[in-house]
Amino acid sequence: ESTSTYELVEVSTGGKLSRHNVRVRKIGPDTDLHGRIVSDHPRGVYRQLHECIVAHSLGEAILDGNVQVNRHALQTDAGQLTRSLVLEPRASVNVKPNLQIIADDVKCSHRAAIS
């Protein structure tokens, strides 16, 4: 709808720190979000957070989150967290967290809460 918004905030200070904040405020019945993080560097810290409220009676929210930790990304700390609130009986939330861990000596997790 015409009042929907998309905002991207990016902070980059060279190779040591990079931060991306994506905010989507969609006024309408459905939202489909795909996120992908690929780590090739050791000791990286990654957080993928998805928070959603579905208030439309035919609303549907979809998250397809992917974190890939490649062979050389030793001691990586990666996490995915999804928090969703469904306010209408016919509304729905579909969450597909995906961790692909190829490296050793890593700490990775994913959690989802839908209520």
| Sequential DSSP letters for 24-42 | EE--SSEEEEEEEEEE-ST
Tell me the pLDDT tens digit for each residue of 74-97. 999 998 888 888 998 988 888 888
The encoded tokens of residue 20 equal: 């991306």
Res. 46: pLDDT tops 70: yes
pLDDT band at 70 (very low <50, low <70, confident <90, very high): very high
What percentage of the chain has pLDDT greater than the value 90? 20
Average pLDDT over residues 4-17: 63
Looking at the predicted structure, is the pLDDT value of residue 21 above 60? yes
What pLDDT is attached to residue 28?
61
Locate 31 and state its tokens: 């939202």
How far apart are the C-alpha atoms of 97 and 66, rounded to whole Å?
6
The overall average pLDDT reported for the chain is 80
pLDDT at 26: 60
Tokens 């995906």 sit on residue: 98
